[in-house]
Amino acid sequence: MRLYLIGAGVSARTHVAAAAKLGEPVELRVADPNAETLAGFLEAFPEATGYASAEEMLAAEQAREDDVAIVATPPRFHFAPAVAAARSGRHVLCEKPLAMTVDEAEEMLRVATEHGVLFGSCSTRFRGLPHNEAVKAVMATGVLGDLVHLDFVTRSPRSRAGIEYQPSSRWFLDSRMSGGGVVMDWGPYDMSTLFDLLQPTRVEMVDAWMAKTRTGADPEGVVHDTESTAGAALRVTRQDGSVLRVNYQRANATHGEEFARAELEGTLAALRWTPFDSHQPVQLRTDAEGEPREETVEPPERDDLSIFDRPLVHFVAALRGRPSLAAIGPIAVDEFRCVRGVYDTARTGRPTVVEVRR
Ligand SMILES: NC(=O)c1ccc[n+]([C@@H]2O[C@H](COP(=O)([O-])OP(=O)(O)OC[C@H]3O[C@@H](n4cnc5c(N)ncnc54)[C@H](O)[C@@H]3O)[C@@H](O)[C@H]2O)c1
């Protein structure tokens, strides 16, 4: 397989490590207009062929049926190279968030469909982790009864991309480059995980809020207009027609309490786990003759994939026709529509509805 990396920054390097887990030989190509970044990448991975632009790289050779291009640039620069890669006949796996706007994401999908190539999202990084699989397995038994409510909250006091995390990439803080703050950065994982767990047919952002937290570490002299704390009330319709209310929160800078918690409450039992942390237990609370009873759910065995390996491994599994947790085609865009829906509802005060295409 040939892998075409567009962007040679931090995330591109993680995809090289992922390629080594595919179980098949992979030839590497990489393009980055930043000569220093490209040189650093080629020093780390001398087996790769480097180019100064995506256009030059994509035009350098005829596409093969299983060529994969990964768009690993800041969100502002996802659209043009993704469309160029699809037009060149390569399958496209795009970093999260898919695009700056829903219109861009829909157009990327349209072009990929027109050219008969797959269009997938890297939002699937946390899919397949043992705790998520344990939650899905318990849900499938029906032991929870009718699902009533889900709390899905991850709040960190100081972990802003561009400040506490990866301060060299200040673009995260500039909405013209990133499209937004913590909801654009982490919302794709939240929505992708919720889609995997709940398999929604319709998601309604009933209400939403967001704010930029102010701290003494806020950098001076750079554009910093992105939110760092946010939440939404979601109404999720599932395939059986049932409706589940979700309290969604995400913060990478909050003066409130640090906590990460998911609790899925049903009429017969409730499940509690820590979103995105597969080392924490999954707890099932049921009733034993009128008294609450708690037990720990045994998760399935851990595989050898890191979270960074997963998007490419899921995508190539789908490409090769194997069972896969990839988000490809309309579903990838619908997840992203939910991410943007949080912004739209927070801004307008009006609900946003996403009918999920399956
Ligand atoms: N850093 C992480 O831990 C991480 C993890 C997962 C996902 N991501 C996502 O990956 C994407 C890239 O983030 P990053 O952290 O790697 O950024 P980065 O700043 O480390 O690298 C981005 C690179 O893209 C290059 N670039 C810009 N425009 C380009 C173009 N048109 N063609 C080719 N290269 C171009 C830049 O020169 C830069 O070297 C973002 O969407 C981000 O959300 C990042």
Q: For 135-186, how does the pLDDT look when each residue is reduced to its tens digit (9 = 90+)?
A: 999 999 999 999 999 999 999 999 999 999 999 999 999 999 999 999 999 9
CA 69 to ligand 1 center in whole angstroms: 14
CATH class of 2-117: alpha beta
Is residue 40 in contact with ligand 1, taking CB distance under 6 Å?
Answer: no
pLDDT at 358 over 90: no
Is residue 231 in contact with ligand 1, taking CB distance under 6 Å?
Answer: no
| Helix ranges restricted to H, the chain | 10-19, 35-44, 54-59, 79-87, 102-114, 130-141, 175-178, 182-185, 187-198, 310-319, 330-348
Q: 270 has which bridge partners? A: 265, 285
Q: Which of 6, 10, 16, 166 to mutate to test the pocket of ligand 1 (most atoms within 8 A of CB)?
A: 10
- Structure-token pair, residue 307: 């979270």
Is residue 33 in contact with ligand 1, taking CB distance under 6 Å?
Answer: yes
Residues 47-66: tens digit of each pLDDT: 999 999 999 999 999 999 99
CA 62 to ligand 1 center in whole angstroms: 26
Is residue 74 in contact with ligand 1, taking CB distance under 6 Å?
Answer: yes
Is residue 166 in contact with ligand 1, taking CB distance under 6 Å?
Answer: yes
Residues of the chain with CATH 3.30.360.10: 130-302+329-355
Is residue 307 in contact with ligand 1, taking CB distance under 6 Å?
Answer: no
Q: What pLDDT is recorded for position 178? A: 97
Is residue 324 in contact with ligand 1, taking CB distance under 6 Å?
Answer: no
The CATH code that applies to domain 130-302+329-355 is 3.30.360.10
Average pLDDT of span 17-30: 97
Q: What pLDDT is recorded for position 166? A: 95
Nearest to 73, CA basis, from 155, 156, 15 = 15
Q: What is the mean pLDDT of the chain?
A: 97
Average pLDDT of span 111-130: 98
Residues of the chain with CATH 3.40.50.720: 2-117
| CB count in 10 Å sphere of residue 186 | 22
Q: Per-residue confidence at 266, pLDDT binned at 50, 70, 90?
A: very high
Q: Per-residue confidence at 217, pLDDT binned at 50, 70, 90?
A: very high
Q: What pLDDT is recorded for position 120? A: 98
Q: Which of 16, 32, 170, 190 to mutate to test the pocket of ligand 1 (most atoms within 8 A of CB)?
A: 32
